[in-house]
């Protein structure tokens, strides 16, 4: 089975704070997903911005990818509080 991965151009900067997506050293991931309260806007978020503005992970909400090549899709965290509502 093929590994799912980010298929866009090389992810670089967070759309919200303009920091590099990998600027949070202990969280080498980013999220391509929806913003809280906005149904159509998808954006690239660094971990910090995801925690503040992300609508959560899952189908139709957001996907989490590694910031390191080959940008594999990551499983969602079991303790991700955004999934509990």
- Note whether 17 binds Zn ion by CB under 5 A: yes
**Listed ranges 13-21, 25-33, 55-63, 73-81: which one lies at the site for Zn ion (CB under 5 A):** 13-21
DSSP-derived secondary structure for 12-56 = -B-TTT-SBTT-STT--EEEEEEBTT-SS-EEEE-HHHHHHHB--
Over the Cα atoms of the chain, what is R_g?
12
Least distance from Zn ion to the Cβ atom of residue 49, Å: 3
16 touches Zn ion (CB under 5 A) = yes
Residues 35-64 that bind Zn ion (CB under 5 A): 46, 49
């Amino acid at each position: 089975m093929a590994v799912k991965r980010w298929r866009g151009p090389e992810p670089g900067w967070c759309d919200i704070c303009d920091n590099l997506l990998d600027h949070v050293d202990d969280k080498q991931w980013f999220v391509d997903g929806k913003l809280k309260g906005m149904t159509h806007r998808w954006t690239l978020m660094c971990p910090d911005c995801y925690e503040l503005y992300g609508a959560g992970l899952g189908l139709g909400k957001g996907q989490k990818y590694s910031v390191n090549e080959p940008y594999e899709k990551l499983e969602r965290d079991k303790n991700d509080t955004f999934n509990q509502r």
